[in-house]
Every structure is written in C-alpha cells, then in structure tokens.
Structure 1
Amino acid sequence: MNYSQIPKEFNPGLFAPNYLTRQGLLKAISKNVPSLKGIMMDFGCGAKPYQSLFSVERYIGVDYEGDGHSHENENVDVFYNGKIIPFENEYFDSIFSTEVFEHIFNLKEILKEINRVLKPGGHLLITCPFSICEHEVPNDFARYTSFAIKHILEENGFEVIMQDKIGCSVTTIFQLWEMYIHQNIAPRLQKIPIVRSAFRIITYSILNSCALLLKSILPKGKELYLNNIVLVQKPHTQK
C-alpha cells in the first residue's frame, strides 16, 4: 500500500520516539481498509491522517470540539456535542475511529449513537491504546484491555469479526522507555540544538532498531501490548 500521502507524524521514521506505535497502527489499519466501504464516517477524525488509505464513496470527518485538543488546521466536516451524532438513523455504510475511545467519558452512550447511525451489516473499525502516557489532558479517561473493549462493543449491539493486539511485550517496553526519554530527558537539551538533534537521532534510532531486532528473536509475548484493533459489524437484525 502507498503511504506517500500519510502525514509524517503518522508515518514516522526510525528517528521518531513514537515510531513503534505509529508504524504498528498504520500497518494494522491498512490491513483492514478493504472492510470499510460506501459512505464512511471518520469519528474523532482530527486531521484525517489516514484518509488517503480509503477508497470510499464519501468520507465524512466528525469530531468533538472541547478542551484538550485544538482543531486548528484540521479539516473537520461536522462537529458533535458529545452526546448526539447529527445524522439520521442508518446513514453510514461504515465507520472508522482510531485512538479516540480513550478520550470519551460516556463511551457506552456514544457507542449507542454510533450503532444508530450505522446501517445494518455495516462495519466499524476502531483502534484504542492499551499502553500509552496520558495525553490530550484533561480529556484522557480510559485504557481498555482486549477483554474490556470486546465486552463493551458486544454490549452495545456489535458483533466482533476481527480482534488483534498491535505490538508485543518487547516493542511496548521499548516504546514506554522512549516516551520516558522524550518527555523527561530530551526537553533538558532543547537549548542546545546540535546536542539535541544528535541525541534524538542516535537515541531513538538505536532503541527502535533494537526493538525490531529483539522482537524477531525473542518470544514476543502479547500480555503487554501497545494498541487494540477491532473490526465489528452491526447485525442485520438487532437483538
């Protein structure tokens, strides 16, 4: 798949501290792109970083305008009020939502809304983090285990078609270590440009390379992982 139109922030190189998470997400999302068709909603779309991956009839970005995240320079088509998605029943053929559910305090209510605007037989593809630092504060409310996210989706009328964990114990340990460095050590070097750049290039490229190498030779272990990815379907007949 061609990633040339994916923003660098979401398709980073080895020098980036979030390389392991972002590359894992990009590959997992790409694998499931063919399942989403027709009129599609990108729920919590932000800057729509993955839009170029999809070949759909219509791509509609919906987001919530609230504290913790600025939508400056983002191409949001429709804002919602945090409770009601402003579309009629069964409007969308498919829905995509990536790294959004952790920011929704009333997730069960919103899942009922997502179910309402999705056509019977339509697919919903979501990703949400399991291992990540607090972000977009104060709107960072939850982390979901694989069991919890499956239960919540099924409880709100969806059938799980595919569920997987992105990353493994090895890559997660390295990713958390890199984020600690990025947030607690790298800022101390901001006033020394040459040292700052050298530190970033050397440190992150070495850690990311080590993570990829060790992942290939050590038992991966999925007890600790980076992100959930789940593909569900709204049944043709709701119970």
Structure 2
Amino acid sequence: MKISETHSNRRPHNWLAYDISDHFLQKHSKLYKGVLYDFGCGEAPYRNYFMTHAEKYIGVDWSGSTHNTTADIAADLNKPLPIESSVADTVVSLSVLEHLCEPQNMLDEAYRILKPGGNIVVQVPWQWWVHEAPYDYYRYTPYGLKYLIEKAGFIDVAVEPQSGFFSMWILKINYFSKRFILGPKPLRFILKLALSLCWFLGQKAAPLLDKLDRQWELETCGYYVTARKTRDEF
C-alpha cells in the first residue's frame, strides 16, 4: 500500500501528487527519528508512517483550521508555541508554510524546539491553485525557501523540486477540468467517467514526459526542503 493510500484528499484527478509526495517521504525516511513533531498535521494522515521510523509522534495544528484536526497540541504556528526548547529530533511540515501569514515564526520555532543536530523536513507547493482560502498566503521559489530557512539558523539546506513541467501541468489541468462536472446526476456520472480516463492516462504519462525536462526547478508542482540545526550553539 502507498503511504498516502488512505489520505482523505487523494482522488482520481490528483493521485499523482500524492504518489510524488510518497516518493519524497520515503527518500528522506532516515530523518524521521526520535521525537517527531508534525507542524500543521491536520488529520495526521502520515502518523502511522512516521511511527514506523520515529519513537514518538506529536501533531501540532491550529484549532480554528478549515479542516478537521487530530492535533496533540492546539497552537497557532504564526505565534510562539507552547513547547519547550530542544525537545525534538525531527520537525516535519507538509503543505503548511504557504498557509501561514508569519512563516518565519514557524521556522524559528522549529529551530528552537529541535535538539542540536536535529532535522527539519518541509514541503511546499509552487505551481498550485489557491486552496483553503482565505488562508493561502504565499508561494516560495527555491531561493526564498533557502533564505527563510537559513535565516532561522538552519544549515545544510537542500531544496528539491518535486516534479517536472509535465506533471505540474497535468495536475493543473486535472484540477481545472474537475470544475466541469456539473448538471443532473446522470450527466455528472458520464462526465466524471470520461474525465477519469483522461486523468488516469495523463497522470501515468506525465512522469515519463518529465524525463524530457532538464530543469525541474523552474516549473514544478512543489519543493521538498531538508535542513539541519547546528550541533554547536554559540
């Protein structure tokens, strides 16, 4: 089973986005260890996966979120967090930074609560539609991400594009075409059936076509970032 197989937002038009996310989650699995904090955890869809690597999982999210949450700690990531310093081995934050009006605060707080040598893993969208309005504030270039994360104090910052041009565009087209499923129930069924075939074929072909793109970082669906807290505090 894929990591995101039971994710509540996984649908016929967007499963490629979750397959891409699964790939990067697995790629960085060695970083999920000890006490892991999930900033902006929502319904904590990856709790079970993280617990196959970490010793303890703690979800943090805002109680006024637009979606359901199963957070262990209710807190606003735009503000100082009610968490002691140097208690976490890992902080992960997936598709959250764009929803924060004060993103630097979250990164600063992640640095504070991490133990020296601890790791942060962040995922953000880039070429993506406005979602969870009105709480969708930013899109980040690789340079903006590196600047903000280094400003928080992190070192060894690595920013990776999640996809190439074709996967990005197929996902955008799929989200757009989904809006045309309208009308009486029989018509909606026919439209969804026809579009589902197009969605499936497009999402199967896109990763293959991405091999033609030599510069994924220019037009990608999003970025994954890993960084480390220095072992020496001055």
- Is TM-score (shorter-chain normalized) higher than 0.5? yes
Are 2:138 and 1:139 equivalent residues in the alignment? no
- Does residue 118 (structure 1) correspond to residue 114 (structure 2)? The answer is yes
Matched, 1:49 2:42: no
Are residue 198 (structure 1) and residue 196 (structure 2) matched?
A: no
Q: In the alignment, which residue of structure 1 is the partner of 2:59?
A: 61
Q: Residues 56, 140 of structure 1: CA spacing in aligned structure 2 closer, same or farther, 3 A cutoff?
A: same
Length, aligned pairs only: 230
Partner Cα separation in structure 1 for residue 5 and residue 82 of structure 2: 28
| Deviation string, structure 1 residues 147-199 (Cα, Å, up to 9, x no partner) | 110111001101134321100111112111111112x3124575635314412
Name segments (4+ residues, structure 1) moved above 6 Å: none
In the alignment, structure 2 segments of 5+ residues that lack a partner are none
Cα deviation, residue 4, structure 1:
6.2
Superposition pairs for residues 213-232 of structure 1, below 5 Å? 213-216=208-211, 218-222=212-216, 223-232=218-227
* Change in 2 beyond 3 A, CA 1:11/1:185: closer
TM-score by length of 1: 0.87
Match for 2:27: what amino acid? K
Query: Contact conserved, 1:168 with 1:225, CA < 8 A, in 2?
Result: yes
1:70 aligns with 2:67: yes
Paired with 1:227 and 1:202, the residues of 2 have a C-alpha distance of: 25
1:132 is displaced (CA, Å) by: 0.7
Q: State which drifts further: 49-58 or 101-110.
A: 49-58
Identity rate, percent: 24
RMSD: 2.1
Higher relative contact order (CA 8 A, sep 6+): 1
Q: How does 1:1-239 map to 2 (within 5 A)?
A: 3=2, 6-9=5-8, 16-54=12-50, 55-66=53-64, 69-71=66-68, 74-81=69-76, 82-182=78-178, 184-188=179-183, 192-216=187-211, 218-222=212-216, 223-238=218-233
